Structure formats: C-alpha cells, structure tokens
Amino acid sequence: MGETALNQVLRGDALIAAIKRAGIRFIVALPDRTTSEHLLKPLLADPQMRVVQVCKEDEGISICAGLYAAGQRSLLLMQHTGLLDSVNAMRGIAVEGRNPVCMMVGLLNKEPGIAPADSKSYGVRVVEPVLDALGIAHHLIERPGDVERIAPAVEDAYARSAPVVMLIGTEPL
C-alpha cells in the first residue's frame, strides 16, 4: 500500500491516541470483528489502559456508569449488533440515568464509502435511527480526519452527562 493510500486508512493507533486525549483509561469491551485486531488487542497490551472484558454489552453500559460514579472515564467497545441488543440499558442507565456512557461501535459489514443509512446490511442501516430515537449523539469515524471528533465528543458527553456513540465505519489498520 502506497503512502497516499495509507494516509486515507483509519488507524488503530490514531484511535487509541484520541481515546487517551479524551482522558479515558478504562476500556470495557467485547471482542468484535471490526475493531478487535487493531484496536482491542493493542489496548489490552497498553500498560496505561485498563481493559475490563464483559460477556454482554448491557453489562458494559452498567460498568461504564459505575466507573463514572467512581470518578473514572471509560469507553465501551462493541459491535453494532450488541448496541442493538442493549437498547433498554442505554435508555435506562445512560439516557434516563444521565450517565456519560461513551461507546465505540464497530459497524460490521458496512460497505466502504457508503453511509450507514444506505448500507445493504439491515443492522447497520437501523443503528443511526435507533440512536436518534433515543436522543443519543453519534459520530461516524471512518477516515483519518474523523478521529479528531472523538475527544470533543467525549468531552461533550461528560459536560452534558449524556451518552455518545462513535460509529467505526471501517476496520482500522
């Protein structure tokens, strides 16, 4: 891959740097096919980060809320199917409970360069409308320049005591 092509690729190390700039030191995670290789694995190996692995995404929402109550910033890393499975926990704990649960969600099978709303994957297509219905702010992170949205989105979530979702639209390298 040429240097120009590499400059257009979403990089896991850039995502991790943005997470750290946002003051996050706890990652609550379930492995997912979009982010595991170049995001979760390096986070597991990073001595500055603490990774809590969970079995269900809704557990992760509760753990992130608990970390907030303990004065810690955290990020829940999961796949979009888990987000859809966790709607009630997001509603009750994050939205109504006014907890700044920050989530990074891999959009498995989202086609490159296609907006989530236009995806052939039904699950990918409905993620943004579900988040909109819940009143949860969300940002598509798909190109290198998009990474700069992460730290301000996290800061805004903590300032408003409200959840936020960063949708990872392509597998980072």
Q: Kindly state whether residue 36 falls inside one of the protein's structural domains.
A: yes
- Per-residue buried b or exposed e for 101-138, using 16+ beta carbons within 10 Å of the residue's own CB: bbbbbbbbebeeeeebeebebebbebbbebbeebebeb
Q: Kindly state whether residue 41 falls inside one of the protein's structural domains.
A: yes
Q: How many domains does the chain have?
A: 1
Q: Kindly state whether residue 132 falls inside one of the protein's structural domains.
A: yes
Q: Kindly state whether residue 149 falls inside one of the protein's structural domains.
A: yes
Which CATH number belongs to the domain containing residue 46 in this structure?
A: 3.40.50.970
- For 17, the domain range is 3-168
Per-residue pLDDT tens, the chain, 173 aa: give them.
544 445 689 999 999 999 999 999 999 999 888 888 999 999 999 999 999 999 999 999 999 999 999 999 999 999 999 999 999 999 999 999 999 999 999 999 999 999 999 999 999 999 999 999 999 999 999 999 999 999 999 999 999 999 999 999 999 99
